[in-house]
Structure 1
Amino acid sequence: MGLYTYDSTPIPKSDRIPKLVENLYAKMPEIESARAVLITESYKQTENEPMIIRRAKAFQHILENIPITIRDLELVVGSSTLAPRGCQTFPEFSYEWLEAEFDTVETRSADPFYISEQTKKELKEANAYWKGRTTSDLATAYMEPETLLDIEHNIFTPGNYFYNGVGHVTVKYGEVLEIGFSGIRKKAEDELASMKVSDGNYQTKSRFLEAVMISCDAAITYARRYAKLALEMAEKCSDPVRKKELLIIAQNCANVPEKGATGFYEACQSFWFVQQLLQIESSGHSISPGRFDQYMYPYYKKDLDSGKITREFAQELLDCIWVKLNDLNKCRDAASAEGFAGYSLFQNLIAGGQNEDGIDVTNDLSFMCITSSMHVFLPMPSLSVRVWNGSPHEFLIYAAELTRTGIGLPAYYNDEVIIPSLESRGLTLQDARDYNIIGCVEPQKSGKTNGWHDAAFFNMCRPLELVFSNGVDKGVQIGPKTGNVEDMKTFDEFYDAYKAQMDYAIALLVNADNAIDMAHAERAPLPFLASMVDDCIKRGKTLEQGGAVYNFTGPQGFGVANMADALYAVKKLVYDENKITMHDLKMALSTNYGKGLSSDDVAEMVSEVASAMKSAGQPVGEKEVAAILKTVVAATESEQVKANGERILKLIDAVPKFGNDIPEVDAFARDVAYTYTKPLEKYKNPRGGMFQAGLYPVSANVPLGGQTGATPDGRLAHMPVADGVSPSAGKDVNGPTAAANSVSRLDHFIASNGTLFNQKFHPSALSGREGLEKFVGLIQSYFDQKGSHMQFNVVSRETLLDAQKHPEQYKHLVVRVAGYSALFTTLSKSLQDDIIRRTEQGF
Structure 2
Amino acid sequence: MEKFHIANVPKTDRITHLVDNLYAKMPVIESARAKLITESYKATEDEPIITRRAKAFAHILHNIPIIIRDEELIVGSSTLAPRGCQTFPEYSFQWLEDELDTVATRTADPFYIAEETKAELREVHKYWKGKTTSELATSYMAPEAILAIDHNIFTPGNYFYNGVGHVTVKYEEVLAIGYEGIIAKAQKELDECNVGDGDYAKKSRFLEAVIMSCQAVIDYAHRYAELAEQMAYQCQDPTRKQELLQIASNCTRVPAKGARNFYEACQSFWFVQQLIQMESSGHSISPGRFDQYMYPYYKSDMEAGNLTREFAQELMDCIWVKLNDLNKCRDAASAEGFAGYSLFQNLIAGGQNKDGEDVTNDLSFMCIQASMHVHLPAPSLSVRVWNGSPHEFLIKAAELTRTGIGLPAYYNDEVIIPALQNRGLSLADAREYNIIGCVEPQKAGKTEGWHDAAFFNMCRPLEMVFSNGMDKGVKISVQTGDVTEMKTFDEFYEAYKKQMEYFISLLVNADNAIDVAHAERCPLPFLSCMVDDCLKRGKSVQEGGAVYNFTGPQGFGIANMADSLYAIRKLVYEEKKMTMEELKEALAWNYGKGIDAQSAADITTVVMKKLQENGIRVNEQTATAVMTAALGTEPSPEKKARFEEIHKMIEEVPKFGNDIPDVDYFARDVAYTYTKPLQKYMNPRGGHYQAGLYPVSANVPLGGQTGATPDGRYAHTPVADGVSPSAGKDVKGPTAAATSVSRLDHFIVSNGTLFNQKFHPSALAGREGLEKFVALIRGYFDQKGMHMQFNVVDRETLLDAQKHPEKYKHLVVRVAGYSALFTTLSRSLQDDIIRRTEQGF
How high is the TM-score relative to the length of structure 1?
0.99
Aligned 8 A contact 2:409 2:787 in 1: yes
Write the deviation string for residues 162-220 of structure 1: whole angstroms up to 9, x where unpaired: 00000000000000000000000000000001111001100000000000000000000
1:500 is matched with which residue: 487, 498, 501? 498
Q: How far off is 1:95 after superposition? A: 0.5
Partner residue in 2 for 1:280: 278
Q: Secondary structure at the match of 1:83?
A: coil
Task: Quickly say closer, same or farther: Cα 1:635–1:321, change in 2 above 3 A.
Answer: closer
Question: Conserved in 2, the CA contact under 8 Å of 1:401 and 1:772?
Answer: yes
- The DSSP-based 3-state class of the residue aligned with 1:286 is strand
Shift in Å at residue 609 of structure 1? Answer: 4.4
1:605·1:632 contact (CA, 8 Å) conserved in 2? no
Unmatched segments (≥5 aa) in structure 1: none
| Amino-acid identity (%) | 75
Q: Tell me how far 1:5 sits from its aligned partner.
A: 3.0
2:786 partner amino acid: S
* Cα distance between partner residues in 2 of 1:269 and 1:777: 38
Q: Distance in 1 between matches of 2:831 and 2:585?
A: 28
Counterpart Cα distance in 2 of 1:342 and 1:232? 36
For the pair 1:820 / 2:818, whether they are aligned, the reply is yes
Answer yes or no: is 1:34 the counterpart of 2:32.
Answer: yes
2:661 aligned partner: 663
Residue 166 of structure 2 aligns to a residue whose secondary structure is: coil
Following superposition, the deviation at residue 597 of structure 1 comes to 1.8
Deviation at 1:613, TM superposition (A): 5.7
User: For 1:632 and 1:252, how far apart are their aligned partners in 2?
Assistant: 74
Measured against aligned partners, the alpha-carbon deviations of 1:652-711 in whole angstroms (never above 9, x if no partner) come to 011000000000000000000000000001000000000000000000000000000000
Instruction: Give the whole-Å Cα distance in 2 for the aligned partners of 1:176 and 1:139.
Output: 33
1:636 is displaced (CA, Å) by 3.3
Q: Aligned-pair distance for 1:607?
A: 3.1
The 8 Å contact of residues 697 and 815 in structure 2, kept in 1 or not, is answered as yes
1:511 and 2:475 matched:
no
Match of 1:651 in 2: 649
Q: Which residue of 2 aligns with 1:592?
A: 590
Please give the per-residue CA displacement for 1:319-361, whole angstroms capped at 9, x wherever unaligned: 0000000000000000000000000000000000000000000
CA deviations 1:418-465 (Å, max 9, x no partner) are: 000000000000000000000000000000000000000000000000
Find the aligned partners of 1:646 and 1:448 in 2 and give their Cα distance: 55
Pairing 1:421–2:419 present: yes
Q: 1:742 matched to which residue of 2?
A: 740
SS in structure 1 at match of 2:411: strand
Report matched runs for 1:507-586 at 5 Å.
507-586=505-584
SS in 1 for 2:283: coil
Are residues 1:126 and 2:128 paired?
no
Using the alignment, how far apart are the partners of 2:143 and 2:433 within structure 1?
38
Aligned to 1:593, the other structure's residue is in SS state helix
Map of 1:363 onto structure 2: 361
- The structure 2 residue matched to 1:391, chosen from 389, 392, 400, is 389
- The letter for the 1-side match of 2:192 is S
Change (3 A) 1:632 1:562: farther
Amino acid at match of 2:451: H
Q: C-alpha distance in 1, partners of 2:507/2:157?
A: 11
**Residue 677 (structure 1) aligns with:** 675
Amino acid at match of 2:429: D
Aligned to 1:464: 462
> Amino acid of the residue matched to residue 383 of structure 1?
L
The reply on whether 1:145 has 2:143 as its aligned counterpart is: yes
The verdict on how the C-alpha distance between 1:621 and 1:35 changes in structure 2, with shifts beyond 3 A counting, is: closer
Instruction: State the match for 1:57 in structure 2.
Output: 55
CA distance in 1, matches of 2:603, 2:308: 69
Equivalent residue in structure 2 for 1:758, among 753, 756, 760: 756
- The number of equivalent residue pairs is 840
Describe the SS at the equivalent of 1:636: coil
Q: Which amino acid aligns with 2:128?
A: W
User: 3-state SS of the aligned residue for 2:590?
Assistant: coil
Cα distance in 2 for partners of 1:135, 1:210 equals 23
Paired residue for 1:454? Answer: 452
Q: 1:519 to 1:745 in 2, by over 3 A?
A: same
Alignment partner, residue 806 of structure 1: 804
Taking the aligned partners of 1:312 and 1:150, their CA distance within structure 2 comes to 55
Alignment of 1:154-553 (within 5 A): 154-553=152-551
Which amino acid is the alignment partner of residue 728 of structure 2?
Answer: G
User: Taking structure 1 as reference, are residues 632 and 839 closer, same or farther at Cα in structure 2, changes over 3 Å only?
Assistant: farther
Q: Residues of 2 paired with 1:268 and 1:451: CA distance?
A: 26
1:631 Cα offset (Å): 3.1
| Secondary structure, counterpart of 1:78 in structure 2 | coil
* C-alpha distance in 1 between matches for 2:308 and 2:630: 74
SS in 2 for 1:553: strand
Find the aligned partners of 1:632 and 1:835 in 2 and give their Cα distance.
38
Contact persistence 1:451–1:550 (CA under 8 A): yes
Secondary structure, in 3 states, of the residue corresponding to 1:268? Answer: helix
Q: Secondary structure at the match of 1:554?
A: strand
1:386/1:240 CA distance change after superposition, 3 Å:
same
Change (3 A) 1:626 1:84: closer
C-alpha distance in 2, partners of 1:72/1:624?
A: 62
- 3-state SS of the aligned residue for 1:706? helix
In 2, distance between residues paired with 1:636 and 1:575? 28
Residue of structure 2 in register with 1:47 after alignment: 45
**One-letter code aligned to 1:518:** V
* One-letter code aligned to 2:306: K
Output the TM-score relative to the length of structure 2: 0.99
The separation in 2 between residues aligned to 1:69 and 1:611, in whole angstroms, is 56
The residue type equivalent to 1:732 in the other structure is: D
Give the Cα–Cα distance (whole angstroms) in 1 for the partners of residues 641 and 178 of structure 2. Answer: 71
Residues 686-743 of structure 1, C-alpha deviation per residue, up to 9 Å, x if partnerless? 0000000000000000000000000000000000010000000000000000000000
Classify 1:620/1:592 alpha carbon distance in 2 versus 1 (closer, same or farther; 3 Å): farther
Determine the C-alpha separation between the residues in 1 that align with 2:624 and 2:399: 61
| Cα distance between partner residues in 2 of 1:38 and 1:392 | 50
Q: 1:635 & 1:700 partners in 2: Cα distance?
A: 29
Q: Is the 8 A contact 1:761 1:792 kept in 2?
A: yes
- For 1:334 and 1:453, the matched residues in 2 are separated by 22
Q: CA deviation at 1:608?
A: 2.6
Alpha-carbon offset, residue 784 of structure 1? 0.3
Residues of 2 paired with 1:140 and 1:203: CA distance?
28
C-alpha distance in 2 between matches for 1:288 and 1:786: 25
**How much does 1:645 deviate?**
1.6
Q: Which moved more, 1:213-222 or 1:596-605?
A: 596-605
**Retained in 2: the 8 A contact 1:591–1:641?**
no
One-letter code aligned to 1:481 = Q
Q: Please identify, of 756-765 and 634-643, the stretch whose mean Cα deviation from structure 2 is larger.
A: 634-643
2:422 partner letter: S
Q: What per-residue deviation string (whole Å, max 9, x for no partner) do you get for residues 744-777 of structure 1?
A: 0000011100000000000000000000000000
Tell me which amino acid in the other structure corresponds to 1:822.
A
Aligned residues: CA RMSD = 1.1
Quick check: 1:695 aligned with 2:687? Answer: no
- Counterparts of 2:537 and 2:601 in 1: how far apart (Å)? 55
User: Per the alignment, in what secondary structure is the counterpart of residue 454 of structure 1?
Assistant: strand
Contact kept, 8 Å, 2:595 with 2:633, in 1: the verdict is no
Partner-residue secondary structure (3-state), 2:591: coil
- 1:522-567 Cα shifts (integer Å, max 9, x gaps): 0000000001000000000000000000000000000000000000
Deviation at 1:602, TM superposition (A): 1.6
